[in-house]
A and B are shown apart, each in its own frame.
Chain A
């Protein structure tokens, strides 16, 4: 096992993050502050409580989730794509690194960025009445799992894309809409009740719903009161949160591993 090689790859990703602070670290902080300005200071009183939580407590876990997703996907996708684009990926391909080492090295880099940004959002929300994690271990573990999920997808996109334009397809058409519809700003229950009966169950097919709820549960200690019936079993929402997160992360990770081990667009 080339552990030093793996660490060097992760270190390279972290270094990249700190060299492009204005692109990747300050924007999430500033947008979080702007969301507070609009939703907490502006609408907060009108919104009142949501799913039994004060609105700021409801909102912060969602914002952390959203930024963890963006940081993980963005780091993995942009970094690997730029390496392919500039051929600097060759430096890594000629080194004695196995495919799992390459993937793990890149994923640890983007997961570290996700951890930094998630906690930064937590920190800037705190003076505005934001919550501190109800369970630190669950909160940190979720960041890691969700980050592995979206970093792996980022790697897959970076291999697939042939241009920056193609690279943006996933976030523009899938990730961002699904995150926004996944209950970051509004309760899933509210959306559920507003939709025509035929579309109601669609809400629950959005995997982001469970990931957001996972964050909310870990941070505030309150899960979505919905229970979901699958194959005759009435499952509380938080169990599904765990299943979606771990299953999603495993599948995405395996997909990235398969593409790497085939040398897909890496080795000719």
Chain B
């Protein structure tokens, strides 16, 4: 099919964003972001609601027009060479957007048609995909009767019908129960192992940790972190130990190599290695009688707060300068 002819020079770069800006009126939803995704990578695009994830995805797939900057898909500009670019991308949107007049099998066939694939060439592929995503028994029904998980699988099958080389999933597991989430993860891992480049937006750190090789974190329309998942998790993840003393302490807590926050009866300690918790707790106990202890794993929200407060305090001039350029 058509999606098989990469421009040789840039074949390794599946996606290249360069200074992408998208404004809605005075709101800069995406504020000058750049990154590249090599072919075959499982790329995680993380951020809180309203950070600019979906806007970026929409610029990439053609649902929004960039205000400035450029996006290339295997070397094809998504605005100028939109036909070639769109042919290479399959989108699973966040909201279900099936055509209500089509059966599930037709959903795949019509989508293939919009991508210029003749009907006799896509029937076999449609049937393969329906079987692979366990939708074969529902092929002649409409999407209205499908469960949430089935609808999600149908969006993936539809995104794959024209044999794209990049699959983009916009929050595929939002509001999906644990079992279905695991099932989707299995499908996505398989597809990535087959060589498909996958970009996944999510606000679950766990999902990105399980699936992605590299992660970008976006906040307020800017990239605040972009690195290998392992490095990011090692650098930022960890545990938080909260201790409540029975009485206000009469001397400040000083433990070498450990940073302690808080005052009065309650203190918080950031712990990188869970193995240290017991030792730290013993040391804390030497400062007074402990009334209560709580340990929790740092979540994405904490990481966001850390990253965003840092990006705002460290280099406001740089960011402002970037905005003007």
Contacts and interface: CB of A to CB of B under 8 A. Distances in A.
B114 A92 contact: yes
A96 B24 contact: no
A189 interface: no
A19 B106 CA distance: 14
Nearest to B91: A94
Contact of B118 (A4, A92, A94, A268): A4
A222 interface: no
Interface in A83-98: 83, 86-98
Contacts of B86: 94-96
B100 interface: yes
Interface in B107-138: 110-111, 113-118
A246 interface: no
A9 B113 CA distance: 8
Interface in B138-190: 158
Interface string A1-23: 01111011101100110010000
Contacts of A95: 86, 111, 114-115
B143 to A, nearest CB: 10
Contact of A88 (B84, B91, B99): B99
A80 B162 CA distance: 24
Contacts of B87: 96
Contacts of A82: 100
Interface stretch (B32-40, B56-64, B260-268, B273-281): B56-64
Nearest to B121: A4
Contacts of B97: 86-91
B93 interface: yes
Given A88-B99, A267-B63, A268-B58, A96 B82 contact: yes
A268 B64 contact: yes
A129 interface: no
Nearest to B109: A8
Contact of A8 (B61, B82, B101, B110): B110
Contacts of A27: none
Q: Taking chain A's interface residues, is the majority helix, strand, or loop, or is none over half, making it mixed?
A: helix
Contacts of A48: none
B182 to A, nearest CB: 28
B21 interface: no
A4 B109 CA distance: 12
A177 interface: no
A113 to B, nearest CB: 14
Contact of B116 (A12, A96, A268): A96
Contacts of B101: 12, 15-16, 19
Contacts of B91: 90, 94
A86 B96 CA distance: 9
Contacts of B114: 5, 8-9, 91-92, 95, 97
Given A12-B101, A88-B100, A93 B115 contact: no
Interface string B64-104: 11000000000000000011101101010101011111100
A225 interface: no
A268 B58 CA distance: 9
A268 B24 contact: yes
Contacts of A16: 101
A99 B229 CA distance: 40
Given A5-B114, A86-B100, A96 B61 contact: no
Contacts of B64: 267-268
A74 to B, nearest CB: 15
A42 interface: no
Nearest to A97: B114
Contact of B63 (A2, A9, A83, A268): A268
B58 A5 contact: no
Interface string A59-101: 0000000000000000000000011001111111111111000
A140 B43 CA distance: 55
B110 A93 contact: no
Nearest to B93: A90
A263 interface: yes
A221 B98 CA distance: 47
B55 to A, nearest CB: 8
Nearest to B83: A96
A96 to B, nearest CB: 4
Nearest to B90: A94
Contacts of A9: 114
Contacts of B62: 93-94, 267
A18 to B, nearest CB: 10
Given A15-B101, A268-B24, A4 B116 contact: yes
Contacts of B65: 263, 267-268
A4 B98 contact: no
Contacts of B113: 4-5, 7-8, 11
A199 B114 CA distance: 51
Interface of B: 24, 58, 61-65, 82-84, 86-87, 89, 91, 93, 95, 97-102, 110-111, 113-118, 158
24 contacts: A2-B83, A5-B113, A5-B114, A5-B115, A5-B116, A8-B114, A9-B114, A11-B110, A12-B99, A15-B102, A19-B101, A86-B97, A86-B100, A88-B98, A90-B93, A91-B114, A93-B62, A94-B89, A96-B115, A267-B62, A268-B58, A268-B63, A268-B64, A268-B65
The 5 closest A-B pairs by CB, nearest first: A8-B113, A95-B114, A87-B97, A96-B83, A96-B86
